[in-house]
Amino acid sequence: MHNPLDYSFNEIKIGLEHYFEVSIDEKLEKDFAKISGDFNPLHMDEQYAKETKFGKRVCHGMLLASFFSRLVGMYLPGKNALYFSQNLNFTGPCFIGDTVIVKGKITGKSEATKMIKIETTIRNNAGELLVDGIAQVLVR
Amino acid sequence: MHNPLDYSFNEIKIGLEHYFEVSIDEKLEKDFAKISGDFNPLHMDEQYAKETKFGKRVCHGMLLASFFSRLVGMYLPGKNALYFSQNLNFTGPCFIGDTVIVKGKITGKSEATKMIKIETTIRNNAGELLVDGIAQVLVR
C-alpha cells in the first residue's frame, strides 16, 4: 500500500489508533545493515551471537524504529506529516523470524502548534514490548 | 569497513568523539522507503514536494537516524554495544545529494550500570543541524 492516509489536524482525535504488522526476515535485516552501515556482529554473525546472552542474532533496534517512520508518514497523520521528534527505548530483543506489531495512539494535540503526540510501541507476537517511545509530529 | 571498533567500558573517556560522512543518494532514499514502508509523497513524489515549502523531496528523518545505529554499533563503543535508548529531534531537512556528517561525543558514563551517554548530531555540508539527540548505550 503506497498511498498514505490523509488526516487533517482537526480529524485527529485523542485516542485514535493505527497499527500494522511486519515480518522480520533475513533480507530486511541485511538490507538495513547495508543502509545504516551497522555491521555489528551481534546483528550479523551467528557464531558470535550464539555466545552472547541472546543466543542468536538480534535485529537492529533502529530497523524497528524505521517502522515508526511508516506509522507517522502513512497513517498518523499520513500525507500531511512532518516528523518533529521521536524518542526510543529499546526494551527487548527482536529476532529474525519474529512478526512485530507496530502501533501508535494519539495522546495529545496542540491547536497552537498543530503538533500531535503519539504513543508508539512495537511488540512481538508473544506481546513482549520491544520498543516504545513518544513521537511528536506537525500536521501541515 | 565491516569490523567494528572494540572499546571496553574503561577505555571510553568523557569527550571521546567519532564521526563519519554519508552521501545521501537516490538509491539510499528508495531502499529506505522499501525497508520502512514509508512512501509519503514528501519523500517520494518530486511534483508533490515541489509545491511544499521545501521545494523538493526531503529524505526520511529515520534514514538519518539509522546512521546512529552505525555510530553506536561500529564506533561508540563498537562491538560491545547494546543500544538502550535514543532520542531524536528532526531540526532541518536533508535533501538527495547532500553529504551528512554523523557525529557522536561521549558526555557521560555510569560505573554502576556500565551505561555511556552520547551526544549525537547529524549536520549537512553547510554545517546546518539536521538531527540531534542523546543515545544511551550499555557496554557489554
Which pLDDT does position A94 carry in this prediction?
A: 98
How high does pLDDT run on average in chain A? Answer: 97
Residue-wise pLDDT tens digits, B82-113: 999 999 999 999 999 999 999 999 999 999 99
Residue-wise pLDDT tens digits, A31-88: 999 999 999 999 999 999 999 999 999 999 999 999 999 999 999 999 999 999 999 9
Confidence of residue B126 (pLDDT cuts 50, 70, 90): very high
Which pLDDT does position B1 carry in this prediction?
A: 56
**Helix, strand and coil in chain A, % to nearest 5:** 25, 35, 40
Q: Is the ipTM of this complex over 0.85?
A: yes
Q: Could you tell me if A65 lies within 8 Å of chain B, comparing CB atoms?
A: yes
Percentage of residues in chain A having pLDDT higher than 70: 99
The x, y and z cell numbers of residue A136, run together, are 511528536
Q: Which CATH number is associated with domain A9-24+64-139?
A: 3.10.129.10
Asked if B90's CB is within 8 angstroms of A84's CB, the reply is: yes
Which pLDDT does position A1 carry in this prediction?
A: 56
Q: Could you tell me if B114 lies within 8 Å of chain A, comparing CB atoms?
A: no
> Among A108, A104, A103, A106, which Cα is nearest to A127's?
A103
> Among A15, A4, A19, A6, which Cα is nearest to A104's?
A19
What residue spans define the domains of chain A?
A: 9-24+64-139
| For residue B60, pLDDT beyond 60 | yes
pTM, rounded to two decimals: 0.97
A-chain residues near B133 (CB < 8 A): 87
- Residue A131: closest CA among chain B residues belongs to which residue? B85
